[in-house]
Structure 1
Amino acid sequence: MIDEAATDFEAVHAARPSGVWAAPGRVNLIGEHTDYNDGFVLPIALPHTTRVSARRRTDGRLRLYSAQGDGTTTDVALEGLAPGAVASWASYPAGVFWALAEAGHPVGGADLFVDSDVPTGAGLSSSAALECATAAAVNDLYELGLSAPELALIAQRAENAFVGVPCGVMDQMASACCTDGTALFLDTRTLEQRHVPLDLTAAGLRLLVIDTRVKHDLGDGAYAALRAGCERAAGLLELPALRDLPPADLAPALDRLPGELRPLVRHVVTENGRVLETIDHLGRGDLAALGPVLTAGHASLRDDFRVSCPETDLAVEAAVAAGALGARMTGGGFGGSVIALVEAGHPAVVSEAVRSAFRSAGFTAPVTFTAVPSAGARRVG
């Protein structure tokens, strides 16, 4: 794979790359829409990665090519680079260069060749994988000495301020910091991390990912509106963030809020509780108990946050009916993927049940695969 990446790079940029860096997509076990509310999240990195072959340039230009693109190279000058100057997929790596320069890091130009097997628009953080692979490459090329969490924050800054998606930090932290065989328990306020062992195989379980192939665009305003609603609710409750509302105070707090904000608050508070409940189950080695937690999380995302859709709802219902211990949508919503916790012998059974349900409903056939906790951003060649 490394030799192939170098050959592809040379075909586009007429030189050999200095190296190849990879960063994974992610699935979030639990903790959805909590990160921008200073809450808790529990993602794992996927084995699927975005790979960036790169070398330095001395002329202050950034040249970007994607194997999944339209066959053209994006060529921009780093001097004067500003939000809105680069369109489409190229805005994500360009935003990383911009964010590094804005933070005072001495970065120059580069040639990049991007190749990825992280599904796009599937709620699996393909954008964070691209950002973090780029950040890891530039960190090494220019000997910046930044840590993985620091690179994640740069990547988040790129997506927030350059691309214009007001995401929280979970996706980038997962892509940059996850380790093999663990889930990343992250406090998004303090950025304290704990790698929690997650050996599904030893427990006789598998995590099935169901890509509904319903594409979404978090930059279309819906995500921003949800975040704004949460921030408005926190302000009305005189709290720094919804993370600061104790579960015991939820009911009286809801009475103080306009009706349209109540379900948002209810989801965030109960979802934080589900993350802590999951950590407790993992600590006791009771991985099967995660199933009902996942299903409860989906109901909250569907009914309170209203970010599900008919395809993700059907995938959850069909998976559970076919014997999954629990299931929920993962990611920002409005389409994307569902995760289902299944017994080791049942992924094929559950997958076929979901495909059958989609056929009956006239939906596009979903794509399924099993996920194992994998490593974060690193140099691979």
Structure 2
Amino acid sequence: MANGKRDQAKVTADAAARFAEVFRAAPDGVWQAPGRVNLIGEHTDYNEGFVLPFAIGHTARVAVRLREDSTARLISSYGDEGLVTVDLTRLAPSNMQGWTAYPLGVAWVLGQQGVRVPGFDLFLDSSVPTGAGLSSSAAIECAVALALNDLAGAALSREELVLVGQRAENEVVGAPTGILDQSASLLSTEGHAVFLDCRSRQAEQVPFDLAGSQLVVLVVDTRVSHAHATGDYAARRASCELGAEVLGVPALRDLRVDELAEAAGLLDDETFRRVRHIVTENDRVLCTVAALAEQGPTAVGELLTASHLSMRDDFEISCPELDLAVETALANGALGARMTGGGFGGSAIALIPAATEAGTRQAILTAFRHAGFREPDIFAVTPAAGAGRIG
């Protein structure tokens, strides 16, 4: 048995065993959904633009068993909250808090859409770092959405489940995010990035062969936690909506790079810089997709770095730890580097030659120590498969 299959079998068995420990019965099944790295295309999703994420090997796993009543009992492998018991007939966005808001939010949205969700017992385990900009919340939502979709016989498509997860994030968690995270988790295939048009919701698999190019994507989790439900993220979205309204376009996706000069005369400085990031970022996503098709991963480094500078200076969502990670990676052989995720903390990524991985890691650790920052968590990722049932 290959290592990957053996590891997955162990993960499945562990989740089922932990479920049985708590609930004194075997689960009906085990499902998992991955976190993601967004290669490029930040804050473009809710502007109906383009994004290019890929799934990673870090996953959220849920073991679930249906009940004959309307009760849901939930427990996770982290935190000290213990077993949470709720009546599904009384669910409302206002009475879901903490980590259970993610799975219960999915159950509530499915119910709102006419799916009869029976009671269930659920055990959650996850290896996706929280607050790292790697979509730990979407991984939970997608794993639960797949599980309840299967067990309730709802027969919703993966594209429909993307919208279920997004609605749970928006209406229950209170984070005004787009469809990037759930799309990456549900639609990814191994060895590919997902080129997503967030207006049409059309997804295309783009080959992203790191091993063949002798490259590695290094993730630097700064361990500076961020939260999409806080005001900074919402403020950026509001600026984008204002910019589109003043410029008379349905969304900033409809503005071209060569129209920015005219836009500068119509917007205040801050709103213009927010708009400029979105417009140029959409262009960078399209250029990255073209470069990957024509030349492969070695050709996209400068686009990644340009994306970071735009997020740092125009969208103002970086932080000193993210900037240091990017600058240090670039000074130590990275082809390109950028922060990834919603910003205000989280992770940076660096596209580096595989042969330099150890040196780059050490350089970043040393730079953080000298700056007096908390030690980052650094690990390599490759494009992994999307969500699915594993047991």
TM-score between both structures, scaled by the size of structure 1: 0.99
Query: In the alignment, is residue 364 of structure 1 matched against residue 374 of structure 2?
Result: yes
Amino acid at match of 2:288: T
What is the distance in 1 between the residues matched to 2:379 and 2:142? 23
Report the counterpart of residue 185 of structure 1 in structure 2.
195
TM-aligned CA deviation for residue 260 of structure 1: 1.9
Report the counterpart of residue 203 of structure 1 in structure 2.
213
Report the counterpart of residue 260 of structure 1 in structure 2.
270
Question: What count of residue pairs does the alignment treat as equivalent?
Answer: 381
Report the counterpart of residue 296 of structure 1 in structure 2.
306
What is the distance in 1 between the residues matched to 2:384 and 2:296? 21
Please state whether the residue corresponding to 1:335 is helix, strand or coil: coil
1:138-157 paired onto structure 2 within 5 Å: 138-157=148-167
TM-aligned CA deviation for residue 289 of structure 1: 1.7
Amino acid at match of 2:339: M
What is the distance in 1 between the residues matched to 2:126 and 2:296? 35
What is the distance in 2 between the residues matched to 1:267 and 1:3? 46
TM-score between both structures, scaled by the size of structure 2: 0.96
What is the distance in 1 between the residues matched to 2:352 and 2:223? 21
Map Cα deviations across residues 314-350 of structure 1 (whole Å, 9 max, x no partner): 0000000011111000000010001000011011111
Report the counterpart of residue 343 of structure 2 in structure 1.
333
Contact 2:208/2:296 (<8 A) preserved: no
Map Cα deviations across residues 93-116 of structure 1 (whole Å, 9 max, x no partner): 100000001111121111110000
Contact 1:129/1:175 (<8 A) preserved: yes
1:21-170 paired onto structure 2 within 5 Å: 21-170=31-180
1:181-330 paired onto structure 2 within 5 Å: 181-330=191-340
Please state whether the residue corresponding to 2:189 is helix, strand or coil: coil
Name segments (4+ residues, structure 1) moved above 4 Å: none
What is the distance in 1 between the residues matched to 2:32 and 2:296? 33
Please state whether the residue corresponding to 2:93 is helix, strand or coil: coil
What is the distance in 1 between the residues matched to 2:117 and 2:231? 32
Percent of paired sites with the same residue: 55
What is the distance in 2 between the residues matched to 1:378 and 1:212? 29
TM-aligned CA deviation for residue 286 of structure 1: 3.3
Query: In the alignment, is residue 3 of structure 1 matched against residue 13 of structure 2?
Result: yes
What is the distance in 1 between the residues matched to 2:159 and 2:56? 18
Query: In the alignment, is residue 353 of structure 1 matched against residue 363 of structure 2?
Result: yes
